[in-house]
A and B are shown apart, each in its own frame.
Chain A
Amino acid sequence: MGKIRKVAVIDDDQVFQLIIKKQIEMKNFECEILSFFNGQEAYDFFKENVDQADVLPDLVMLDVNMPVKNGWDFLQDYQTLPSEMRSKIKLYMVTSSVIQSDIDKANDNENIISFVSKPITNEKLEEVFS
């Protein structure tokens, strides 16, 4: 997999959105950041640009608890999108939840590469961007 050029952060927490942007800047990863505040917003974007690979992100950081459409509901919709498109996207579940049932559920989902617990460390961030 090549260099990450576009990251989508799906999280209703505005502070987290700012923090992750700051962390990426500080790591000097040259990439564009797309911010979505719930699952619905993100899904609408993916669906709209389903065949424009340039517009779609290479990396997704998905929160669990969000209003309107939470992380799990988003994944259900995301599953309906073309697998060719999904195969080009690295999807991480990034959440403050430390509940085991969420971790297990994430590990069982084929679209999720890994469950990452907040706060996200620099090391973790490098790993995700590698």
Chain B
Amino acid sequence: MTPIDTKQGLLKIVKDPILRIDWSGRVLECHCHPSSDPAILELDLYNNRNIKDFEFLGEVYKAVRDCIESQESQSAYFSLGRLGSRTHYEVLVEPNDTDEVLAIIKEITKKRQRENELIEYYDLLQNIYEATSSWTGTDYLDQLTLQLSKALKADYTAICLIDDRQDLLETVSVNFIGGKIENVEWEIEGSPFEEVVTHSYFEIGHGFKNKFPHFELNQYHVFNGFVGIPLYYNELYSKPIGFIFALYERPLASSTHTEKILQIFSTRAAAELQRIEYQKKIEDSENRFKALYNNTPAYFSSTNKSGVVIEVGDYFLEKTGYARKDVIGRRAMHFLTSRSRKDAVKMLPDFLQNGYCKDVALQFIKKNGDIMEVMFSATTIRDEHGRFVKNIMSLNDVTLLRQVERDLRLSEERVIEEANRFQLLFDNSPVGIIIHSNGVIKHVNTETVRLARGNSIYDFVGKQAMSFVHPESKEIAQARVDKIYKTKKAHRNEQKFLCVDGSVIEVEAMGTLIDYQGEESVQIAFYDISDRKEAERHILVRDQELEVLNENLARQNNQLEEFAHIASHNLRAPITNMLSLIKIREADPSEATQAFVWENVGKTVRNLDETIIELNDVVKTSWELDKQRKILHFEEVLEKILNSIVDQIAKADAEFVVNFDMPSIFYPKIYLESILQNLVTNAIKYRRSNEKALIKLRSWEQNGRGYLSIEDNGLGIDLEKHGDKLFGLRKTFHAHQDARGVGLFITRAQIESLGGLISVESKEGKGTKFIVDFGTLKLISTDH
């Protein structure tokens, strides 16, 4: 084959037009295949046309010149608009000779379109990156829908999530005709969501509204085209979280990129949604924590690795008085007392190893210098890679708690001390103490055990309180207990206490209402007053004795007075007579008068002598100093008296009836003799002249007292008339017919001076009975 043949052959194959162009742009040769691009053919480049004539070929001309000049391949581009569409061409220019080139025109419309698409795609991605790089969260999602609408040239783009209840779709971003609009909720039923999920990518060219007539979006708009793909979180492929879609009012011109673009967007949206979800979770917990941090009545703060405070809660500041700037940047240790710093250093290794510590008691210094008792807890926060983030510390103010604890301990100690003291007092009390409630003894002290002759408190505890009260005192004791409960006041009384061994002591008891182990109880304090009572009784007896003695003394005093009275009268009477007689003698010296005077002087002196002797008798017998008592037998005393008055007895022919039931008495001898003699002689003296004297003597003992009676059958006395003067001394001592003399006066004085009494019963003409009461019989002498 010749070169020309080869050349012709090649030209037949190459369908693209080939031109030979000289340096001036003139087309020297044009080879066009019959099926070449009709647009090129229409240019009519065959007949020596110059490419400079076509404005749109300017770039080609430049490439021809460059090629000739540089003798290197060049390329240029041009496009032609034809039938409403534009066709793109590439012209490859190769050097052919020193002044001409070969140019081949290739249609590159499709290539260029693809290039454009790629550029667009690139731009889209670029836009997405640019648009989203500076945004996060919903803003980012809004950018995505915006960019999606641009990329897909869609009218409506949206990102939807399925809500937790699985029956609603919630948009998180909606773009409508280039602008963001409000988020909405749709029911899943009637929506294209299920189709999207089923097909992974779902596309409807036209008639969207007709296919999903119940989808709420279709109620207000007429959308024809639809594309959508589901959204998945990275780690949850099985379950879609929502979908991303685009709608077109016009029918959709399908594109191979649409699915890809949607996929890119869905990945981005899902990632952001997940991030948002995480962030929300973090924020939630963070917020919760923040709220906790700031509002909990605990003192939160955080430090970095070296213990410097980096965060601090409001409550912490409020309560410690520090400003945030006082705290941030300082070492946490700085706020502890020196002692607590040592404690904190001690627990540090454990904290570093375990990453936490709990309730370490420390002392924190407030801004004002006050010391706050705290319970310190801390925990180290690390991120998911285990890197240190911070130490969160909480201080629990236990100052008040500590104070309360201390107070409590102190008061507890005090209570115990009090209780001990009370117990000590209770046990060592010099009075017996019995505590009983509802009548049952709850507690007694040592003194009670001793006083009541018990062996231990168990002789009392659990027993009826009344069982220790003597029957005689039960009424008074019960009355007291009732009174205590009723008036709630202390009451005291004296009562007889029945001891464990059956013996009886007399006690003074004081009852008080108390609270014993939560029960209303009666506390009885008592002590033995048996000795005192005995002494009191003794004193009472002595009192009575003294009273008797006093009466006796008064009586004796009266007797003495009476005696003095009589004595002065009876002694003075003779003297006044003699004085008168002397006057008479002086006035009349006649013999007759002299005789009268002498005669009467003699009488007067004899009277005087008699009076003095009688007075002497009274003094001697009535106020005998020798009151020494002896055992005297009545028989013996009587016999001695009767022997001394044998003549009188014989003269009176007296008979004696003697009945000494009490044969003897412890009494002063002279007194008993004097008493008996007076009474016996009286009985004889005042006998009835026509009758034999019968004198009955009797002695007996009654109620510890001794008695003697002497009864006669004599004249008797009119007691109504003379009773009051019977034992008196208001009589002359002179022997007188009806004078009973000084005898009964002396007798009474003697009896009474020894604490006895004498009484008389008598009837005129019948007789008289004197009864001597010697008083309480004595065995030892107590008289002075």
Contact = CB atoms under 8 A, between A and B. Distances in A.
Given A14-B603, A15-B600, A67-B739, A120 B580 contact: yes
Count chain A CB atoms within 10 A of each CB in B565, B569, B588, B736 and give the residue with the most: B569
A96 B571 CA distance: 9
B584 A95 contact: no
A65 B732 CA distance: 7
A65 B568 CA distance: 11
Interface in B492-531: none
Given A67-B736, A118-B576, A119-B577, A22 B593 contact: yes
Chain A contact surface mostly: loop
Nearest to B600: A15
Given A13-B573, A96-B569, A119-B577, A23 B584 contact: yes
B607 A15 contact: yes
B566 interface: yes
Contact of A26 (B566, B581, B584): B584
A14 B734 CA distance: 12
Contact of B738 (A13, A16, A68): A68
Contact of B568 (A19, A67, A99, A120): A99
Interface string B567-588: 0111011111101110110011
Interface in A17-74: 18-19, 22-23, 26, 64-68, 70
B50 interface: no
B563 to A, nearest CB: 12
Given A23-B584, A68-B738, A16 B573 contact: yes
Given A26-B588, A65-B570, A67-B739, A97 B596 contact: no
B604 interface: yes
B421 interface: no
Contact of B569 (A18, A67, A95): A95
Interface string A90-125: 000001111100000000000000000011111000
User: Looking at chain A, what size class is its interface with the partner chain?
Assistant: 20 to 34
A22 B592 CA distance: 11
A12 B596 contact: no
Given A12-B732, A26-B584, A65-B570, A119 B565 contact: no
A70 B576 CA distance: 19
Contacts of B570: 65
A12 B573 CA distance: 11
B722 to A, nearest CB: 9
A53 B215 CA distance: 169
Given A119-B576, A120-B580, A65 B569 contact: yes
A90 B583 CA distance: 25
Count chain B CB atoms within 10 A of each CB in A14, A18, A99 and give the residue with the most: A18
Contacts of A22: 584, 593, 596
A92 to B, nearest CB: 15
Nearest to B566: A65
A19 B577 contact: yes
A70 B573 contact: no
Contacts of B731: 67
B569 A97 contact: yes
A26 B587 contact: yes
Contacts of A120: 580
B161 to A, nearest CB: 140
Interface residues of B, number: 31
B406 interface: no
Contacts of A67: 731-732, 734, 736, 738-739
Interface string B362-396: 00000000000000000000000000000000000
Given A26-B588, A99-B568, A118 B603 contact: no
Contacts of A19: 577, 580-581, 584, 600
Contacts of A13: 573, 577
B579 A119 contact: yes
A18 B607 CA distance: 15
Contacts of A14: 603
B582 to A, nearest CB: 9
Contacts of A70: 730
Contacts of B577: 13, 15-16, 19, 118-119
Nearest to A18: B600
Contacts of B732: 12, 65-67
Interface in B730-783: 730-732, 734, 736, 738-739
A13 B736 CA distance: 12
B600 to A, nearest CB: 5
Contacts of A99: 565, 568-569
A65 B576 contact: no
A98 B565 CA distance: 9
Nearest to B564: A99
Given A13-B573, A96-B573, A118 B736 contact: no
Interface in B408-464: none
A21 to B, nearest CB: 10
Contacts of A26: 584, 587-588
Interface in B578-629: 579-581, 583-584, 587-588, 593, 596, 600, 603-604, 607
Nearest to A121: B583
Contacts of A119: 576-577, 579-580, 583
B572 A96 contact: yes
Contacts of A16: 573, 576-577, 580
Contacts of A68: 738
A96 B578 CA distance: 12
Interface in A79-96: 95-96
A84 B718 CA distance: 33
Nearest to A16: B577
Contact of B572 (A18, A66, A98, A122): A98
A67 B728 CA distance: 11
A26 B596 CA distance: 13
Contacts of B566: 65
Nearest to B602: A15
Top 3 A-B pairs ranked by shortest CB distance? A118-B576, A96-B573, A96-B572
19 contacts: A12-B732, A12-B734, A12-B736, A14-B603, A15-B604, A16-B573, A18-B596, A19-B580, A22-B593, A23-B580, A65-B570, A65-B730, A67-B731, A67-B738, A70-B730, A96-B569, A96-B576, A98-B572, A122-B587
Given A18-B596, A23-B580, 10 more contacts: A15-B574, A15-B577, A15-B600, A16-B573, A22-B593, A67-B731, A67-B732, A99-B565, A99-B569, A119-B577
